[in-house]
Amino acid sequence: MDKCITQDYELRLNKGNSNSKSIININIKIITQISIIMKNLILAVVVFFAGFSIQAQEKLNKNAKYATEVNGNCEMCQSRIQKAAYSVSGVKSASWSIETHELSLILNEEKTTILAVKTAIAKAGYDTDTVKAIVESYDKLPGCCQYERK
């Protein structure tokens, strides 16, 4: 770009004002070249950011399966744990086993995360493997549902 502008000034100095058509033509060429450079620069920036946005979007599973440990004791616990899981938008299936203390989930990862489900269960008073219920929530559980906390 600097080369073009320098050439324009050299032509103006060499020819003076006697040949204004050639100066105008040269100016038009310079403006055209600058315009092409700007278009290429804008295109490069758009491609650069488009690459980042495509890379940032990972494919989320609409039927992701998870299994996690949730503490509890009885059928009432089972009902409360499953109800807490279903309260989270995007949970398609929730089944808690009294024997194994395992909660099996199917959820839409576009709408929710496993952490959101575990947080909802903890708010209901039940400890999960990574999110623990606060004491106030645990203390509100019926006596038969108050498990031994770790």
For 16-58, how does the pLDDT look when each residue is reduced to its tens digit (9 = 90+)?
555 555 556 666 677 777 778 888 888 877 777 766 665 556 7
- pLDDT value at 89 more than 70: yes
pLDDT value of residue 11: 52
Give CATH for domain 64-145.
3.30.70.100
How many Cβ atoms from other residues are within 10 Å of residue 95's Cβ?
A: 14
Average model confidence (pLDDT) across the chain: 84
pLDDT value of residue 45: 79
Q: pTM (2 decimals)?
A: 0.63
Tokens of 114: 């496993």
pLDDT value of residue 116: 97
Q: 20 with 12: CB under 8 angstroms?
A: no
Percent of the chain at pLDDT above 70?
76
Sheet holding 102-107, edge to edge: 64-69, 102-107, 91-96
Amino acid occupying residue 149: R
C-alpha–C-alpha distance, residues 86 and 34, integer Å: 60
Domain ranges of the chain: 2-56, 64-145
- pLDDT value at 81 more than 80: yes
